[in-house]
């Protein structure tokens, strides 16, 4: 099911759309339920959002009534999940997919979008995680200037800006490290040149974390940072932009396909030019090198013509 939103419709549903994207990211990508604290401050597509506890409570009640979300359990705050994704009890069979944006309209522009010449396949908004036992204790003990968040207790490092990428690193109190590569305006082409650009940038993250650990007292400095190719990639946006400029009315389409991937087609302002971006929000949940090999093999198969019987 689809939703095509003009400028006015986008303004009315943007927070709902961002909230649902963040819900899917937590449940499908991070494999955990969520509570209101996850929505006090969050970011989707490079834009910051936030809501009060009361606003969250009203919206989650609407999602539960519509069958999109469900209550998981109460442990202090109430924890929720997407309908069909259970953490407090065995998972039942999955329910039907739900539209990400609820209002519906004509699909007349889809065939037009499919016919547009497009640029290379690319990745953006890439999210990784890896675990280093005791890293949170070592960092907080040896670097008091890096103060944990008062609520989450996570340590958010200053972003690294390099190779036209903005990389955000968070050290969670659970000793999990999450890394976000934000590059919506300069997506990473899925080819050797693009992957080398990404690899060089992630090496900067490894080096910075190692410097923090190396400067700790000897009794605390025996930790190591795993190579970024072994990090688990929990989510990425995979797609391509139209090669030609688009001059029509701005719009946004979002839906979920049969493979539980979030699909989006929308207008994007890039380098003083508006283009149409078509993408899938995917959840590989595997080593980065394995996920990339799989994606590149898929692209090769897409480009290889099927032999015809003589």
Q: What is the pLDDT of residues 142-161, one digit of tens each?
A: 899 999 988 888 999 999 99
16 close to 59: Cβ distance less than 8 angstroms: yes
CB atoms < 10 A from the CB of 233, how many?
26
The per-residue pLDDT for range 236-253, each reduced to its tens digit, is 999 888 877 888 888 778
Query: What is the model's pLDDT at position 175?
Result: 94
**Rounded to whole angstroms, how far apart are CA atoms 91 and 34?**
17
Q: Which residue has the tokens 């050797």?
A: 192
Query: What is the model's pLDDT at position 257?
Result: 65
DSSP state of 91: -
Average pLDDT of the residues in 15-25: 88
Q: Dihedrals φ, ψ of 206, to 5°?
A: -55, -45
Average pLDDT of the residues in 132-143: 91
The 3-state DSSP class for residue 270 equals strand
Q: Where are the alpha helices (DSSP H) in 25-116?
A: 53-66, 110-114
Tokens of 195: 């992957």
Average pLDDT of the residues in 176-186: 91
Query: What is the model's pLDDT at position 115?
Result: 47
Average pLDDT of the residues in 256-271: 75
Average pLDDT of the residues in 54-75: 87
Tokens of 174: 């659970």
pLDDT above 90 (res 114): no
- Sheet strands (E) in the chain: 4-5, 42-44, 47-49, 69-74, 78-82, 122-131, 155-156, 160-162, 165-171, 176-182, 188-189, 232-241, 252-256, 262-270, 273-282, 286-287
Give 54: exposed, middle or buried? Use CB within 10 Å, 0-12, 13-18, 19+. exposed
Domains and CATH numbers, the chain: 4-98 (1.10.10), 111-303 (no CATH)
**CA nearest neighbour of 134 among 232, 223, 30:** 223
Average pLDDT of the residues in 62-83: 84
Query: What is the model's pLDDT at position 231?
Result: 97
The per-residue pLDDT for range 121-131, each reduced to its tens digit, is 899 899 999 99
Q: Which residue has the tokens 């303004």?
A: 11
Query: What is the model's pLDDT at position 168?
Result: 95
pLDDT above 90 (res 309): no
């Amino acid at each position: 099911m689809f939703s095509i939103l003009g400028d006015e419709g986008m303004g009315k549903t943007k927070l709902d759309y961002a909230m649902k994207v963040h819900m899917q990211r937590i449940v499908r990508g991070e494999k955990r339920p969520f509570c209101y604290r996850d929505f006090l401050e969050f970011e989707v597509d490079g834009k910051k959002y936030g809501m009060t506890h009361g606003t969250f409570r009203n919206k989650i009640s609407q999602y539960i009534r519509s069958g999109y979300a469900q209550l998981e359990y109460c442990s202090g705050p109430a924890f929720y999940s997407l309908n069909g994704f259970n953490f407090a009890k065995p998972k039942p069979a999955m329910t039907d997919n739900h539209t990400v944006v609820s209002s519906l309209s004509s699909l007349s522009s889809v065939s037009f979008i499919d016919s547009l010449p497009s640029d290379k396949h690319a990745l953006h908004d890439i999210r990784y995680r890896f675990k280093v036992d005791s890293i949170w204790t070592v960092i907080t003990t040896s670097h008091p200037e890096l103060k944990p968040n008062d609520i989450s207790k996570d340590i958010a490092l200053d972003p690294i800006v390099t190779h036209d990428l903005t990389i955000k690193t968070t050290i969670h109190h659970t000793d999990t490290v999450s890394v976000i590569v934000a590059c919506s305006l300069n997506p990473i082409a899925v080819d050797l040149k693009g992957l080398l650009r990404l690899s060089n940038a992630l090496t900067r993250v490894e080096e910075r974390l190692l410097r923090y650990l190396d400067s700790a007292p000897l009794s605390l400095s025996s930790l190591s940072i795993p190579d970024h190719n072994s990090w688990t990639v929990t989510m990425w946006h995979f797609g391509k932009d139209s090669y030609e400029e688009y001059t029509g009315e701005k719009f946004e389409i979002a839906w979920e396909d049969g493979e539980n991937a979030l699909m989006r087609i929308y207008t994007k302002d890039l380098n003083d030019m508006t283009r149409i971006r078509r993408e899938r929000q995917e959840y590989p949940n595997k080593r980065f090198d394995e996920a990339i090999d799989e994606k590149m093999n898929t692209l090769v198969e897409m480009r290889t013509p099927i032999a015809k019987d003589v």
